[in-house]
Structure 1
Amino acid sequence: MNANTPPPASDLQVDFPFDYAAHVSGGRRMGRLPEAATGARIAVIGAGGSGLAAAYELLRAGCQPVVYEAERSEDGPGGRRLGGRMYSRRLREADSAVVELGCLRFPETARLLRQYADTFGVRLEPFRDNYAAPTTPLTVLDVDGRQYAAGKIEDLYDRCDGFREAHARWQQALARIGFFQIQRDVAARDLAAVRRRWREVLVRFEPWSFYRFLRAPDGAGLTHDQARLLGTAGVGPAVWDSFFDLSLLEILRLLLCTEGSSLLYAPEGISRLAEGFWSHRTTDPHGRTCSVEAVNGGAPRPAVRALDIEPDAAHGVVVHSEDGRSERFAAAVFTPQLRLVETGVEVRSTVAHTPVLGPRLWRAVRRLHYWQSSKTALVVDDLFWDKTSMDGVTLTDRLRRAAYTVDYGPARGPGGRRGVLDLSFTWAQDAMKISPSTPKERVALFVRDLADIHPEVADELRAHARTGEAVTVSWENERHFRGLSRWSCPGDHPYQRDLFAHFMKDFAGTPAVPGEPPNALYLAGDDTSWSPGWLNHALASGLNAAWGVLRQLGARPEPGNPGPGDVWNDPHYTPLTTA
């Protein structure tokens, strides 16, 4: 690869560069169970992306996954909602328009996700993201009350004072620490080089915040105003100044899978992917046709209230659900936000003074940092923004932060609507500002800002705000989420590593997390991934847990297809520490 060629993005997780997509592609299964373990019943708690991926692959390997879900939905199977933050809402049957309340977009590099989407027949298309010409007609940056229009980010160089130098210094700093070379090494699958260069970045910058790197002379060396401008304009999807407190490593991991990649969305709603995991008919190792839906009798079980964990993994786990049922399983995969381990689901040992999680794992769970996030969308009957300055993406330092216009194509029926205006996509303190506000109040606030930024369309915007239908969510207020996702702050790398390593138990010869008991509980979900917020990595975490369950049951890898735990001791894969 030519050194002057922009490096490609990759969704290979640099901390553990295992190719999950290849592992389950082409009909490959995650392991071969001994005959005595075939049909083992496994509790999968949470029907989000990670839980559904784990259930689907456990089913393909010969287990019977029993899914529990706390979220309710009138149109979901058995009144339960599938998908977790894969949460799409079509407000009327005649609408083509879909409101994405969780997974709005994902990188084209997300091979595992795209592979499942192809299997389930879920259509994907380019997303109108910032500076994504020609997919996005226009990106308008509004900062300090002034507006700057751009097709690509370089258009801001001569339009927004100070941006050329700020962006150039940022790019130079990334090159200086070896970021672009790491991208090239990942693309070439040179894992030895990836490991060597990432170790240097990890050891040096693990204590650094994103803001420190932007300001420090041995980072990007920006002034405060330049850092603020760059943060508002965006250096990657959703990396605004809301994220200045995050670990620099978190930002670099995000950029590794997005810098140089376009973004995609599901025009029929990302919930279609969840429905695919649930209802797609696949085959077990004996060639019998089956689906997660069929194994579960057409509906998930209700919310879990308590888990009784046997110290001996061979005795499994007892799951107590809110309908009063208590049932024993060979193992349990726990995928909800891990804050629920402290606040919503009682996890207890059946033997006194025997921990369910070791002290290091409890420490990691208790020190998770969740970011608040809110989204407010307006479903409208026509694309009133077409060919105006609002046709695309608006980024601003005002209350609403980011707005997107999306055309979902011709309505599905008479009177249906095709347009969605994402009025606001906010994080952290910006989300907290409107957390107590009603939907009507939120719409009024965001329309006020957008009308000021786009005066030529202000009257139509106000009119559609009166006649359109608004949907909003604040993820920190959702009982079973309590925040959108975990993000790491400086000093969190040891916690992140331990959470990721939980699925390994002691299968590699010694506990992957010192002091961790070898019971039949497996943590998965976004919290345990290296780069949270991205659905592809949540899916991979479900595969990790599925591998752990299969290994506990005595499974061995299919020839030539080692799983994530089978390569754990390989120095190209073992997650690094800061020591």
Structure 2
Amino acid sequence: MSRLTAFGPDFPFAYDDWIAHPDGLGSIPKDAYSTRVAVIGAGAAGITAAFELMKLGLHPVVYEASRFGGRLRSQAFDGADGIVAELGGMRFPRSSTAFFHYLDMMGCETRPFPNPLSIAAGSTVVDLEGETFFARHLDDLPPLYREIASAYDAALTDQAAFPDLQAAVRARDPAAIKAIWNPLVSQWDERTFYDFIAGSEAFRGQSFRHREVFGQVGFGTGGWDSDFPNSMLEILRVNLLGLDDDQHLVVGGVDQVLRRLWKAAPPCAHWPEGTSLASLNGGTTRSRVTAIQRQTDGALQVTDQWGNVASYDAVLATCQTHLLTTAIEVDEDLLAQNLWMALDRTRYMQSAKTFVMVDRPFWHDLDPATDRPVLSMTLTDRHTRGTYLFDNGPDQPAVICLSYAWMTDALKVLPLSADKRVDLALKALAKIYPGVNIASHIRGTPICVSWEADQNFLGAFKGALPGHYRYNHRIFGHFMQDRLPDSQRGLFLAGDGVSWTPAWVEGAVQTGLNAVWGIMTQFGGHSPASNPGPGDMYADWGPVVLPS
């Protein structure tokens, strides 16, 4: 069976093949060499796009408002070498082949992520309504859980032709994918994930308890109830592309991928051997962008927070879309009004994490009364929701993500200090593990994040609501600028919120590559006939158009 990759379904283009092709992504005219392009945001979309633009012979100038890495934020614990808390992206499915292209190129090491019921987790505890179950495999849980898993599989088959659709994705057959997917777009865009569950034949034969437990526990990475209000299309993409399966963590922190790309010196058109993004940018990024304006000569003027002004023929904005109307003064005429509507209607989900470093992976200790580990990966309806355990080796400090919560559960801790968040989490876990003194193992200072409280993000990631497909289509397809009026050309958008797969780094990389193609063609370049780019294939396999 062919390997499952994030191929489509809205735009089935092989980004991984495009960036790995020996003939390269394309070329630009020599008179465009060294032309400066502003890249706003040093996250996954910005850095991978800048890396490819540099290889084409352009001069990416990178701006960053806060921390290098964006939401690939690996924060080290003080006093411990290489022990990190992954505050943003922390689990990366192997189906994210464009992202893994760069990860592997940079020599980063991965290992399986300790998701519930996975071999990497070792053991899982499910605690709902005060009832606790220990499991190593799904079969160790009561029959209710297997009934839920079977019902969800049946719902996917009955309502989304899932086996045939996934077979088409595996085969990388665009025609077969579109034949099944396009009708599903109109059928499910305006219906929620919960509607899909509750209205399915499989779940209608089950009790409310089945739907409740599915929301609290789910399968793969954990509970699904925070996504119940989302458009079902969002969930179908996650399941279809294997984004919730075979997930890995990056040893030492995922931000290494971007930091190594920043310093890497690949063969480039025009630039001398040894050129890197770091060298082209004087070793550091520029500061937060506060304005993007059209000049009278047609160029785009970018202003940073210190009043420094520079002009560019192209600007790539990879920041959260809401920042284009709240934090950056953007000429309104740079984007069509219906695109501004789409950007403003983007809905970002809240997310909070609380991490502590502990002296050792003590959870491997066995409880003499039960002969089980004293602590396990834990899914619960208590406000911790998901607790994950990260083992860095028997002689190394370990890390516990005490709580990983979304939406309402994340808002419950929004105003609280890090110490208070840890205290609440420990009290919740003490009710599940009454004999375990987790606090006695904690070392150093806890690390927490609430993405909605960060002025540079205003939320963790996009979660499309019913009826948002048309908005996403406008944003995603904006890199195709050949039919736009001159006043709306030159500003490109990228990031996972621009993609069809928000919250997954693969979407950020893919949209960054779309922008690379768009910028390359704006400067008179093109992809080779042997390796057509996303814009070359967009007319054939682009997203289905829904009537307004």
Number of the residue aligned with 1:76: none
Number of the residue aligned with 1:167: 149
Offset, 1:281 = 1.0
Offset, 1:255 = 1.2
* Contact 1:307–1:318 (Cα < 8 Å) also in 2: yes
Give me the whole-angstrom Cα distance separating, in 2, the residues matched to 1:343 and 1:472: 25
Give me the whole-angstrom Cα distance separating, in 2, the residues matched to 1:500 and 1:394: 37
Number of the residue aligned with 1:228: 212
For 1:569, what is the secondary structure of its paired residue? helix
Number of the residue aligned with 1:201: 184
| Residue 135 of structure 1, aligned match among 112, 120, 127 | 120
Give me the whole-angstrom Cα distance separating, in 1, the residues matched to 2:142 and 2:545: 39
Number of the residue aligned with 1:334: 317
Larger CA deviation: 91-100 vs 168-177: 91-100
| Residue 256 of structure 1, aligned match among 229, 240, 243 | 240
| Residue 164 of structure 2, aligned match among 168, 181, 184 | 181
One-letter amino acid of the counterpart of residue 337, structure 1 = Q
Q: Does 1:306 align with 2:295?
A: no
| Residue 15 of structure 2, aligned match among 15, 20, 30 | 20
CA-to-aligned-CA distance 1:280-334 (integer Å, 9 cap, x gap): 111212473211000001000111110113598xx33111111221110121000
Offset, 1:235 = 3.0
One-letter amino acid of the counterpart of residue 487, structure 1 = G
Q: Does 1:450 align with 2:429?
A: yes
For 1:472, what is the secondary structure of its paired residue? strand
For 2:323, what is the secondary structure of its paired residue? helix
Aligned alpha-carbon RMSD (Å): 2.0
Offset, 1:205 = 1.4
Number of the residue aligned with 2:521: 551
* Contact 2:376–2:389 (Cα < 8 Å) also in 1: yes
Number of the residue aligned with 1:409: 393
Offset, 1:462 = 2.7
Give me the whole-angstrom Cα distance separating, in 1, the residues matched to 2:301 and 2:42: 19
One-letter amino acid of the counterpart of residue 41, structure 1 = R
CA-to-aligned-CA distance 1:216-272 (integer Å, 9 cap, x gap): 145742543211101112134355212111111111111122268311011110010
Number of the residue aligned with 1:475: 451
Q: Does 1:66 align with 2:61?
A: yes
| Residue 92 of structure 1, aligned match among 75, 78, 83 | 78
Offset, 1:384 = 1.5
Offset, 1:157 = 4.3
Give me the whole-angstrom Cα distance separating, in 2, the residues matched to 1:153 and 1:258: 19
CA-to-aligned-CA distance 1:114-134 (integer Å, 9 cap, x gap): 1101111111111111121x2
CA-to-aligned-CA distance 1:523-571 (integer Å, 9 cap, x gap): 111210101111111111111111111110000112311111111111x
Q: Does 1:361 align with 2:339?
A: yes
Number of the residue aligned with 2:352: 374
Alignment of 1:431-442 (within 5 A): 431-442=410-421
Q: Does 1:119 align with 2:89?
A: no
One-letter amino acid of the counterpart of residue 558, structure 1 = P
* Contact 2:73–2:87 (Cα < 8 Å) also in 1: yes
Number of the residue aligned with 2:472: 496
| Residue 527 of structure 1, aligned match among 456, 476, 497 | 497
Scaled by the length of structure 2, the TM-score of the pair is 0.94
Distance change in 2, residues 1:448/1:341 (3 Å): same
Unaligned runs of 5+ in 1: 2-6, 72-80, 350-354, 412-416
Distance change in 2, residues 1:410/1:34 (3 Å): farther
Distance change in 2, residues 1:259/1:218 (3 Å): farther
| Residue 317 of structure 1, aligned match among 285, 288, 300 | 300
* Contact 1:137–1:391 (Cα < 8 Å) also in 2: no
Give me the whole-angstrom Cα distance separating, in 1, the residues matched to 2:108 and 2:317: 26
* Contact 1:29–1:57 (Cα < 8 Å) also in 2: no
For 2:363, what is the secondary structure of its paired residue? coil
Give me the whole-angstrom Cα distance separating, in 1, the residues matched to 2:178 and 2:295: 37
For 2:39, what is the secondary structure of its paired residue? strand
Give me the whole-angstrom Cα distance separating, in 1, the residues matched to 2:222 and 2:35: 42
| Residue 574 of structure 1, aligned match among 523, 542, 545 | 542
One-letter amino acid of the counterpart of residue 324, structure 1 = G
Number of the residue aligned with 2:24: 29
For 1:284, what is the secondary structure of its paired residue? coil
Larger CA deviation: 148-157 vs 324-333: 148-157
For 2:176, what is the secondary structure of its paired residue? helix
Give me the whole-angstrom Cα distance separating, in 2, the residues matched to 1:155 and 1:471: 34
Distance change in 2, residues 1:143/1:8 (3 Å): farther
Number of the residue aligned with 2:95: 109
* Contact 1:309–1:519 (Cα < 8 Å) also in 2: no
CA-to-aligned-CA distance 1:327-382 (integer Å, 9 cap, x gap): 10121000110110111000016xxxxx1111110110110110000000001111
Distance change in 2, residues 1:410/1:168 (3 Å): closer
Number of the residue aligned with 1:144: 129
One-letter amino acid of the counterpart of residue 432, structure 2 = I
* Contact 2:112–2:247 (Cα < 8 Å) also in 1: yes
Offset, 1:389 = 4.2
| Residue 140 of structure 2, aligned match among 152, 155, 170 | 155
Larger CA deviation: 233-242 vs 201-210: 233-242
Unaligned runs of 5+ in 2: 366-371
Give me the whole-angstrom Cα distance separating, in 1, the residues matched to 2:142 and 2:166: 25
For 1:231, what is the secondary structure of its paired residue? helix
* Contact 1:361–1:516 (Cα < 8 Å) also in 2: no
CA-to-aligned-CA distance 1:375-406 (integer Å, 9 cap, x gap): 00001111121145465421111101101000
Give me the whole-angstrom Cα distance separating, in 2, the residues matched to 1:18 and 1:108: 17
CA-to-aligned-CA distance 1:190-233 (integer Å, 9 cap, x gap): 21111011112212111110111111145742543211101112
* Contact 2:495–2:508 (Cα < 8 Å) also in 1: yes
Alignment of 1:242-281 (within 5 A): 242-258=226-242, 261-281=245-265
| Residue 539 of structure 1, aligned match among 505, 509, 513 | 509
Number of the residue aligned with 1:50: 45
Distance change in 2, residues 1:103/1:445 (3 Å): same
* Contact 1:333–1:522 (Cα < 8 Å) also in 2: yes
Offset, 1:409 = 2.7
Give me the whole-angstrom Cα distance separating, in 1, the residues matched to 2:375 and 2:347: 35
Give me the whole-angstrom Cα distance separating, in 1, the residues matched to 2:65 and 2:460: 16
| Residue 563 of structure 1, aligned match among 533, 536, 542 | 533
Number of the residue aligned with 2:369: none
One-letter amino acid of the counterpart of residue 334, structure 2 = V
Offset, 1:174 = 0.8
Distance change in 2, residues 1:43/1:410 (3 Å): farther
For 2:536, what is the secondary structure of its paired residue? coil
Q: Does 1:429 align with 2:411?
A: no
Alignment of 1:206-221 (within 5 A): 206-218=189-201, 220-221=203-204
Give me the whole-angstrom Cα distance separating, in 2, the residues matched to 1:516 and 1:130: 51
Distance change in 2, residues 1:410/1:464 (3 Å): closer
* Contact 2:26–2:56 (Cα < 8 Å) also in 1: yes
Larger CA deviation: 140-149 vs 254-263: 254-263
One-letter amino acid of the counterpart of residue 11, structure 1 = A
Give me the whole-angstrom Cα distance separating, in 1, the residues matched to 2:80 and 2:290: 38
Offset, 1:487 = 0.8
